[in-house]
Amino acid sequence: MIDWSSMTRKFLLGERINPPSLRSYIQSLNEILKNLNPPSMREKRNVEIAIEHLRGINRHTRKLEEKLSLLEEKLKVLEEDKK
């Protein structure tokens, strides 16, 4: 059975179960841009530039996620050594 009152309370309080990841936002934007059919060459070029920028953002995001996981591992080691 679905607990509607709990779901409503969480929604009103702004609590989300699984917020979308940055990668899912990037993927969604990429799909939207690829599905656009601009009428002019100028607009088509702007869409191509936006897609290229998204690729750069995606690469940078991947590098930041790798650095974050490495730092989290180092922090765990330091916390274990401190105990």
pLDDT of residue 15: 64
Threshold 0.85, pTM exceeds: no
pLDDT value of residue 49: 97
User: What mean pLDDT value characterizes the chain?
Assistant: 88
| Element (DSSP H or E) covering residue 18 | none
pLDDT: which is higher, 13 or 79: 79
Write out pLDDT tens, residues 31-48: 999 999 999 999 999 999
Q: What tokens does 35 get? A: 């599905």
To the nearest whole percent, how much of the chain has pLDDT over 70? Answer: 90
Interior/surface letters 26-65, b for 16+ CB within 10 angstroms, e for the rest? beebbeebeeeeeeeeeeeeeeeeeeeebeeebeeeeeee
For residues 48-74, average pLDDT = 95
Nearest alpha-carbon partner for 22 in 59, 74, 76:
59
CB within 8 A of 48, min separation 6: which ones?
none
